[in-house]
Amino acid sequence: MKRMPDETGTSELPGRLAGGPRVLVRRGGAPRKGARCVVYWMQRAMRIVENPALDVAIEAGNALGLPVVVFFSVIPNYPNANLRHYHFMAQGLRDVAEDAAERGVGFVVRRHPDNRLEAFLEEVEAALVIGDENPCREPERWRKVLAGRLRLPFWTVDADVVVPSATFGRSYFLLHHFRPHLKKELPSYLVAQPEAAPLCPWKPWKALASFSLAGDITAGFSKLDRRVGPVDSFTGGTHAALKRLDAFVNHDLSAYEETRNHPEVKGTSRLSPYLHFGNISPLTIALAVEKAVERGKAPASARDRFLDELIGWRELAVLFVRHNPNYDNWECAEPWARKTLVEHAGDPRPHRYTLEQMERGETGDELWNAAQREMVETGWMHNYMRMYWAKKILEWAPDPARAFEWAVTLNDRYELDGRDPNGYAGIAWAIVGKHDRPWFDRPVFGLVRPMSGASIAKKFDARAYIRQNSAGSGRLEF
């Protein structure tokens, strides 16, 4: 591969590439002289289609007359990930490989211990490296450490929200406080984005070692938790995500307002695992929903309700995690919720269960057990049930701090969309009043909003849901 001449007469990148709200320059400076490529370090946004981070990398490559290669590093100890998560990820990486070849960019997968990004950048003589953003604690720490060690420019791109989080620069107390700010920005971002085409297709000048995705990406990972195995309810990857989206907009969206809170019907999009792994962009989903309404396949009211979840609640959750270092523990409690929960900490619990009993679905609440089993056996739980599930953990755990800890443990262990801002915000809403208001004083809950099985069972066919997630099911042993 030969480097194309720089037609601009300069090796500096256009300022517009680094000047937008979606791009964070973590290490500045001029690109490497005599470089051979631009590297996109893929981590959270595992897709080639409609990926703003890859688009920035391609635009940078075009400005420098260089091709782009995508680098994916498989580590054996991703925080709280187990075999279920790695299996879903591996399925998605196969789609990345196929789509990368079609788009004209390279794709290299390396496994531990031969997976150091810094070594790869030297091996391919990269001009600069583009990454994607991840607001969670450990991935953000990795990016900061890397920025301090690299000798090349390092930018990260906010690729998994419709409106870049930097646009707001803060979190918000309630969704209706956030909505006006979001509504103001959406017209600029809720539009189809042109896909950058590489002017220099990737043609490696030498054989680059890359792990074959036909193999087991977890082979030799001796400390990986393999007790939680893969599920057949979801197939990872962009291709499966687009099929699920097509089915939703063509068959389920029209009735979304009526069925979204009916767990037994499964009237939601069920796209959250794909969003978590970055297999699909929220913009792709939003524009497909808009198009369905334009074609008369669904009412505008269904679109509005769905986008409120996809963009409103989801991006509020990202801001919460980005701006609250205690997003995954009790310390993120709203002051009023902390006060009332502490005041009621000594209240008698109607039932007490251990974490192990809950994990096995061995409580006296059939509806809760069904929700737990849905999560354990399918890797996903209906959103309406997630609220009830977390509320009952607060009721049964010894104290609110452990309730939060146990909810996070189970959520992150079994959900394909666990370890995600949406999950942490949902648990914080249910247990410590985040993004909610004080309710009426009750035992155990204090002023935190309660939920009872008797009340929610009146809103959908609870018996059908219990049958779907109990009858004939196996039992996990720990």
- Tens-place pLDDT, residues 89-118: 999 999 999 999 999 999 999 999 999 999
pTM of the predicted protein model: 0.95
* pLDDT value at residue 8: 33
Task: Round to whole Å and give the CA distance between 206 and 269.
Answer: 44
Sheet with 126-132, side-by-side order of all strands: 23-27, 154-157, 126-132, 37-41, 68-74, 106-111
Local structure of residue 7 (DSSP, 8 states): T
State the chain's mean pLDDT as an integer: 94
Predicted local confidence at residue 220, as pLDDT: 96
Decide: residue 371, CB within 10 A, 0-12 exposed, 13-18 middle, 19+ buried: buried
Residue 269: is its pLDDT beyond 60? yes
Tens-digit pLDDT profile for residues 211-261: 999 999 999 999 999 999 999 999 999 999 999 999 999 999 999 999 999
Give me the helix-helix angle, 421-432 and 335-343, nearest 10°.
50
- Give residue-wise pLDDT tens across range 173-193: 999 999 999 999 999 999 999
For the residues 122-137, what does the mean pLDDT come to?
97
* pLDDT band (50, 70, 90) for residue 7: very low
Instruction: Categorize the per-residue pLDDT at 160 as very low, low, confident or very high, splitting at 50, 70 and 90.
Output: very high
Cα–Cα distances (Å) from 438 to 140, 340, 345, 433, in that order, read 33, 9, 17, 7
> Where does residue 219 rank: exposed (0-12), middle (13-18), buried (19+ CB within 10 A)?
exposed
Q: What letter represents residue 369's amino acid?
A: N
Distances (CA, A) of 250 to 50, 144, 287: 21, 43, 13
- Residue 454 Cα distances to 26, 434, 439, 445, 451, angstroms: 52, 24, 18, 17, 9
Yes or no: say if 101 and 203 are a contact pair by the CB < 8 Å rule: no
Amino acid identity, position 423: G
- 3-state SS class at 69: strand
Distance CA 317, CA 425 (A): 5
Length of the chain, in residues: 478
Percent of the chain with pLDDT over 70: 96
Give 474's pLDDT tier (boundaries 50, 70, 90): very low
**Which pairs from 3-11 meet CB under 8 Å and 24+ separation?**
3/34, 3/35, 3/36, 3/65, 3/66, 4/65, 4/66, 4/199, 4/200, 5/65, 6/64, 6/65, 7/65, 8/63, 11/64
Rounded mean pLDDT, 120-146: 97
The C-alpha atoms of residue 474 and residue 355 are separated, in whole angstroms, by 19
Q: Tell me what the mean pLDDT of segment 155-180 comes to.
A: 97
- Position 249 scores a pLDDT of 98
Q: What is the pLDDT of residue 20?
A: 85
Q: Are 72 and 93 in contact (CB under 8 A)?
A: yes
Per-residue pLDDT for 475 more than 70? no
Q: Is the pLDDT of residue 368 over 50?
A: yes
| Distances in whole angstroms, Cα of residue 349 to Cα of each of 80, 117, 137, 358 | 30, 51, 33, 15
Identify the pLDDT of residue 12. 62
Domains belonging to the chain, first-starting first, are: 15-159 (3.40.50.620), 238-323 (1.25.40.80), 330-468 (1.10.579.10)
Chain-centre distance for alpha carbon 324: 17
Looking at residue 133, its pLDDT comes to: 97
φ/ψ (deg, to 5) at 82: -135, -175
pLDDT at residue 204, as a whole number: 85
Mean of pLDDT values over 67-86: 97
Using a pLDDT cut of 90, give the percent of the chain over it.
92
In contact, 185 and 167? CB cutoff 8 Å: yes
DSSP code at position 130: E
Q: Given a cut of 90, is residue 416 above it in pLDDT? A: yes
The rounded distance, in Å, linking the Cα atoms of 387 and 393 is: 10
Instruction: Cite the beta strand spans of 209-269 per DSSP E.
Output: none
CA angle 202/205/210 to nearest 5° reads 75
The DSSP 8-state label assigned to residue 237 in this structure reads S
Widest CA span in the chain? 75
Tell which wins on pLDDT, 199 or 15.
199
């490696």: which residue's tokens? 204
pLDDT at 306: 98
pLDDT of residue 2: 32
Count CA atoms closer than 13 A to 89's CA, side-chain side: 25
Let me know: does 402 contact 391? Beta carbons within 8 Å: no
What is the DSSP annotation of 8-59?
TS-SSPPHHHHHSTTEEEEE-SPPPTT--EEEEE-SS---STT-HHHHHHHH
Confidence of residue 472 (pLDDT cuts 50, 70, 90): low
Question: Which helix (H) or strand (E) is 74 found in, with range?
Answer: strand 68-74
70 forms beta bridges with 40, 107
**Which range is least confidently modeled, 5-19, 25-39, 368-382?**
5-19
pLDDT tens readout for residues 308-364: 999 999 999 999 999 999 999 999 999 999 999 999 999 999 999 999 999 999 999
CA dihedral 320, 325, 329, 331 (to 10 degrees): -100
